[in-house]
Amino acid sequence: MIHFKKVLFEFNNGSGIKDTSFNIESGEYVCIIGPTGAGKTTLLKLIYMDIFPQKGEVIVDKYNSKKIKNKEIANLRRNVGMVFQNPELLNDRSVFENISIPLHIQGLGLKYIKNQVNEVLSKLGIEDKKNHFPNQCSGGEQQIISLARELVKNPIVILADEPTGNLDPASSLKVLRMLEEINNEGTAVLMATHNFTLVEDRGYQFMQIKEGEVTL
């Protein structure tokens, strides 16, 4: 489902991703581990085609980095959920409205949107927050809201960049359990973290990255 074939991506200063090949199949749970500056975020950006390889190719579902047209990138991202380290929520919209945005963009019907959003709110246990505004929610809650906003799209994979970055141990565990439950229902998960102790015993597949080099 996600294939890296001899991918090279370098920033001007020479850092980036070095000649990397790997495959992630549908339904897998893979954890990218590596220190700060190793290239974790860069690797995730290559998957949602925010950046493109200088050599090699990235294939995600039916999209190939060498062939994808600009207008197809939105289609790719409809199928790929992205949770960023700093949740970018709209502070002038309620939690419910924030989560429904991707579905409005797809032009789906109001009734479908309402059902879908309510279902995800209840799955993630944040129904009571739906009429709040993001700045009335804690950092951990905002992280969960941004996960909800991706889940409503029914993506084939969730990319989660340090999803527990700003959270205390209890909230971190809660987010990990949510991602595991989502994975149990068939969605692939690719999460990046520098906190190995948090994830080492959870039975994930690990991918190590150090100075842009990936080892499986």
Ligand X SMILES: Nc1ncnc2c1ncn2[C@@H]1O[C@H](COP(=O)(O)OP(=O)(O)OP(=O)(O)O)[C@@H](O)[C@H]1O
Residues that bind ligand X (CB under 6 A): 11, 13, 15-16, 34, 36-42, 194
Residue 42 touches which of Mg ion, ligand X, none (Cβ within 5-8 Å per kind) = ligand X
Residue 11 touches which of Mg ion, ligand X, none (Cβ within 5-8 Å per kind) = ligand X
Contact 154, 185 (CB under 8 A): no
Residue ranges in 28-57 that form contacts with Mg ion under rule CB under 5 A: 40-41
Q: Smallest distance from the beta carbon of 68 to Mg ion, in angstroms?
A: 23
Which residue matches tokens 């370098």? 10
Residue 37 touches which of Mg ion, ligand X, none (Cβ within 5-8 Å per kind) = ligand X
Which residue matches tokens 């700045």? 135
Of the candidates 19, 23, 2, 15, the residue with the CA atom closest to the CA atom of residue 56: 19
Residue 166 touching Mg ion (CB under 5 A): no
Which residue matches tokens 């565990």? 173
Contact 143, 175 (CB under 8 A): yes
Which residue type sits at 204?
Answer: Y
Q: Smallest distance from the beta carbon of 161 to Mg ion, in angstroms?
A: 6
Please give the residue ranges that form the binding site for Mg ion (CB under 5 A). 40-41
